[in-house]
Structure 1
Amino acid sequence: MTTVSDLNITAPEDCENMAQVREGVDALDRELVALIATRAKYMEAAARIKPNREVVRDEWRINDVISKVIAESERVGLSTSISEPVWRELVERSIAYEFTVWDKTRL
């Protein structure tokens, strides 16, 4: 896991001005984009592996992902009022992307 020291940014509790805050946020956003790009590659793999379009959306898996995110959020001290809606949107967008990839490779 990437840490604040890995990114060479000021820790949130040590920030003394908005430039430091913005630098930290921008660095973390770059890391998040890279991670989401890798996650999207897994959606491409899922689209390649799943045998038919009907199994692209899996309600059990959606609930599993969200429950794991909530548990991890509680473990690390992230408010679930942030994490849950963000991940629900990420999951929905990922499913839509997976449908697009599935269709492109099959139809």
Structure 2
Amino acid sequence: MTAAKSPERCETMTDVRAGVDQVDRELVALLVRRFGYMDAAARIKTDRAKVRDEARKAEVLDNVAREAAAAGLAPERLRAVWNELVEQSIAHEAIEWDRVRTGR
């Protein structure tokens, strides 16, 4: 598969869609890695109540908002996306925490 054109070089909607599809594949690969860290957290944490850490969630959302602003993106838009990502990560970690300890 050939690399998609950069956004600046896109001339058709086919170019744009190819670029979006490529970015989506890359994002999925990154999310697989991120969720791997949730698996590690589930294995390491000894207390299920520690799976949800509101202070850490706030820190992650603040970090993302700061990075978004520095990159010229709307911080609140990315904060909303990351809020859902963090909530899904917490849900995944809770399931994995239970699985590690029950074998199911």
Superposition TM-score tier, normalisation by shorter sequence:
over 0.9
Cα deviation digits, residues 84-103 of structure 1 (max 9, x gap): 11100000000000000001
User: Which of 77, 87, 91 in structure 1 is aligned with 2:86?
Assistant: 91
Partners of 1:13 and 1:82 lie apart in 2 by 22
5 Å-filtered alignment, 1:26-105, equals: 26-105=21-100
Gaps of 5+ in 1: 1-6
Count of residue pairs brought into register by the alignment: 101
1:19, CA displacement in angstroms?
0.2
Q: What's the secondary structure of 1:16's corresponding residue?
A: coil
Greater than 3 Å deviation, 4+ residue runs: none
After TM superposition, the score normalised by the length of structure 2 is 0.92
Partners of 1:70 and 1:97 lie apart in 2 by 23
Aligned-residue CA RMSD in angstroms? 1.2
Aligned: 1:106 with 2:87: no
After TM superposition, the score normalised by the length of structure 1 is 0.90
Partners of 1:66 and 1:40 lie apart in 2 by 17
Report the identity percentage: 50
Contact 2:65/2:76 (8 A) holds in 1: no
